[in-house]
């Protein structure tokens, strides 16, 4: 930052300080130094200071002497809120008024139902995809191969040979 910019920033800081409070002796000295180096800013500063003076000179509002007592009394007269209301206040993000709250509750219920419905649909689609996948599997044997399954199965279960039958057959 060059010197001119630094001086401008310094002037800006002094100006902003002057908006809020009277400048300290050190600040006034710095200001005089700045204005001596930059006389073109003299008029602007004088207007700033004059406006600050005008605004400060304005009388503040006079508050009634019994203001505090009145406020405390009014606060103590406030009705005690029912328990449900106090519990409701634990959720400050809830909108105020019954209509927005009812809308919010309805929206939440609708969201829940929709999510449940979507979940069911998704599960059914997934199951159908799995079944279709098994059916389309090329490595599985044809169903015709199982035509003599029962006979073959029964033959495997015969543990003792039927000698009578073998004799007749011979």
Rule CB under 8 A: say whether 75 interacts with another protein. yes
CB of 44 to another protein, least distance (A): 9
Contact call for residues 11 and 34 (beta carbons, < 8 A): yes
Rule CB under 8 A: say whether 86 interacts with another protein. yes
Write out the two tokens for 143: 């169903």
Stretch 125-144 residues interacting with another protein (CB under 8 A): none
Rule CB under 8 A: say whether 43 interacts with another protein. yes
Q: Quick one: which H or E segment has residue 94?
A: none
With CB under 8 A as the contact rule, the residue among 20, 124, 129, 157 that binds another protein is 20
CB of 21 to another protein, least distance (A): 7
Please, what sign has the CA dihedral across residues 95, 101, 103, 107? Answer: positive
Stretch 44-63 residues interacting with another protein (CB under 8 A): 45-63
Of the candidates 23, 20, 50, which has an alpha carbon nearest to the alpha carbon of residue 42?
Answer: 50
CB of 24 to another protein, least distance (A): 12
Contact call for residues 41 and 11 (beta carbons, < 8 A): yes
Crossing angle for the helix pair 42-57 and 3-20, nearest 10 degrees? Answer: 20
Of the candidates 65, 6, 54, which has an alpha carbon nearest to the alpha carbon of residue 30?
Answer: 6
- Quick one: which segment of 67-75, 99-107, 109-117, 157-165 binds another protein (CB under 8 A)? 67-75
Instruction: Give the separation between CA 48 and CA 35, rounded to whole angstroms.
Output: 13
With CB under 8 A as the contact rule, the residue among 39, 82, 92, 133 that binds another protein is 92
Rule CB under 8 A: say whether 68 interacts with another protein. yes
- What residues line the site for another protein (CB under 8 A)? 16, 18-23, 43, 45-68, 70-72, 74-76, 78, 86, 89-90, 92
């Amino acid at each position: 930052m060059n010197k001119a910019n630094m001086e401008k920033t310094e002037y800006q800081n002094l100006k902003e300080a002057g908006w809020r409070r009277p400048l300290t002796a050190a600040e006034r000295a710095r200001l005089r130094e700045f204005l001596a180096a930059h006389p073109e800013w003299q008029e602007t500063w004088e207007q700033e200071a004059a406006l600050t003076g005008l605004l400060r000179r304005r009388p503040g509002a006079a508050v009634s002497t019994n203001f505090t007592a009145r406020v405390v009394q009014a606060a103590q007269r406030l009705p005690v809120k029912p328990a449900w209301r106090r519990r409701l206040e634990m959720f400050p993000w809830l909108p105020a008024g019954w209509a927005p709250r009812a809308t919010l509750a309805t929206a939440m219920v609708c969201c829940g139902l929709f999510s449940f419905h979507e979940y069911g649909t998704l599960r059914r689609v997934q199951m159908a995809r799995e079944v279709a996948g098994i059916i389309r599997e090329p490595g599985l044997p044809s169903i015709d191969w199982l035509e003599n399954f029962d006979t073959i199965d029964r033959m495997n279960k015969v543990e003792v040979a039927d000698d009578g039958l073998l004799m007749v057959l011979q």
